[in-house]
Amino acid sequence: MDGSDQAVFWAVVFARFLLPLFIPKFPLPGILACFLADAVDQSVFQSFTRLSLIGYQGYDKALDIFYLCIALLTTYRNWVSYPALQIGTLLFYFRIVGVLSFEITDWRPLLVWFPNTFEYFFIFYELLRSRWIPSRRSARFYAVSAAVIWIGIKIPQEYWIHVAQLDLTDVLKTAVMRAPLEAPWGQVIALRPFAFLGIVAAAIAIVGALLLAVRRVAGPPQHALTLAARELPEEIDEARERDRAIAEGWRLFDMRLAEKIVLVAFVTVIFAEVLPGVNAAPTQLVGGTALIVTLNTFLRLRSARAGRSLESAVMSFILLALTNLGVVFVADGILRRFGQGSLNVPATLFFLLLLTLIVTLYDRWRPVFDFRFRG
C-alpha cells in the first residue's frame, strides 16, 4: 500500500468512524451520511486506490455494526415511542446475530436471512419524527411498517448485495453509463453527462416517491420540519439527575449489565473476526469484555451514589478510557508475570476504545429511557 493508497484508506475509515457520532444529535442526517459512506466506500477504493478488496465484506459489515450500535443507543436517548423502540431493538440484535454467524461461517445467505432491517426502520422513524409525532402511532403501525421494510425492501436488497454480489454503482456504470468497470467516475460523467443527470433525476424521483408514501401513511404533517434531536426531558437532562436515577434504580447485577455485556461482546467478536492480528478465541473476548464491563458498571454505580456528576460526555469517555487502560496494563503485567504471553497492544487498544465508547453512551442515555418508560 503506497502513500496515496494509505491516505485514501484512512480518510474513508476515519469518515466511517466519525460520522456515526453525529447520529445522537442529528439522527436523520447522521444515519443518511453513514448510509452514503457505506454505499460509496468500495467505489472510492476501486477508483482511487490499487487496494485489494479481498475480505472487504467483513470490514464493511463490522463498520456497519459500529454505526448501527450508535444508532441503537440513540434510540434510548431520543425515541418517545415504546413500541417503536422495542421493535428497533429486536431488529438490531437480530441483525448482529446474523452478521456474527456470517463472520464465523462465511456463508452469505445468512445475511439475507438476517437482513439489516433496523437501519431502514431507524430512518423511517426519524423521517416520521421530522414532521409528525411518533408517540401517537400504535404498536401495529410500527409492526406493519417494519414488516414492509423487511420483506419489501431489505430481503431483495440483501440478496442483490450478498448472494448475487452486485454493486449498484458498478451496475450503473456498466449498464446505464455504458462504460468499462475500471473507468474512473469522473471520466465517465464527463463522457456521458446526460446519462448521469438521468441517474440523479431517477434518484430524486425515488426519494420523492418514498416521502409521498410516508406522508400518505402518516397523514398531514403535525409540526414544522425538525431534523435535530429534541432536548432531553427536563427531569433527566443533567448529569446529576441521571446519576440520581442510576443510584436509586440500578444494581450491579441486573438486566442493564447483561445488555451491556451482550452488546459489547457481539460488537467485539464481530470486529475480532475481521481485524488482522487478533488471535483471541471468542470465549476469551467475551470473558474479557464481561470482566471490564462489570468493573466499569461497579465504578459507575460508586460514582453515581457518591454524587460525582460529570456533565461532559467527552470527559466521561476520557476518564473511563484511562481507567480501562490501567486495567489492561495490569492484565498484561499479570500475563507476563506468569508466562502466559502478552496482549496484542494495537488490537487491545482498539477494542478498549470501542468498549469504552459503547459503555459511556449506554450509561449516559439508558437513564433517559428508564425515565420515559418506567419512571
Q: What is the mean pLDDT of residues 258-272?
A: 89
pLDDT 10s digits, 277-309:
667 778 888 888 899 999 999 999 998 988 777
Reported as a pLDDT band with limits 50, 70 and 90, residue 20 is: very high
Indicate the range of 170-179, 194-203, 272-281 predicted with least confidence.
272-281
Cα separation values, 283 from 186, 224, 268, Å = 47, 50, 11
Q: What is the mean pLDDT of residues 129-144?
A: 94
d(CA 56, CA 65): 14
d(CA 331, CA 314): 26
Q: What is the mean pLDDT of residues 41-61?
A: 71
Take residue 9 and report the three cell numbers written for it: 484508506
Indicate the range of 73-77, 94-98, 163-167, 241-245 predicted with least confidence.
163-167
Residue 229, CB-side half-sphere exposure with 13 Å CA sphere: 19
Domain boundaries, the chain: 1-230, 233-375
Take residue 199 and report the three cell numbers written for it: 441517474
DSSP string, 25-70: TSHHHHHHHHHHHHHHHHHHHHHH-----TTHHHHHHHHHHHHHHH
Reported as a pLDDT band with limits 50, 70 and 90, residue 170 is: confident
Mean predicted lDDT score pLDDT of the chain = 85
Q: Is 355 within 8 Å of 264 (Cβ atoms)?
A: yes
Mention every residue, 6+ apart, whose C-beta is less than 8 A from residue 249: 367, 370
pLDDT of residue 209 exceeding 70? yes
- pLDDT at residue number 341: 55
- pLDDT at residue number 274: 72
Q: What is the mean pLDDT of residues 265-281?
A: 78
Nearest C-alpha neighbor of 160 from the set 117, 111, 127: 111
Nearest C-alpha neighbor of 71 from the set 101, 35, 99: 35
- pLDDT at residue number 345: 64
- pLDDT at residue number 277: 64
Return the number of other C-beta atoms located less than 10 Å from residue 347's C-beta: 17
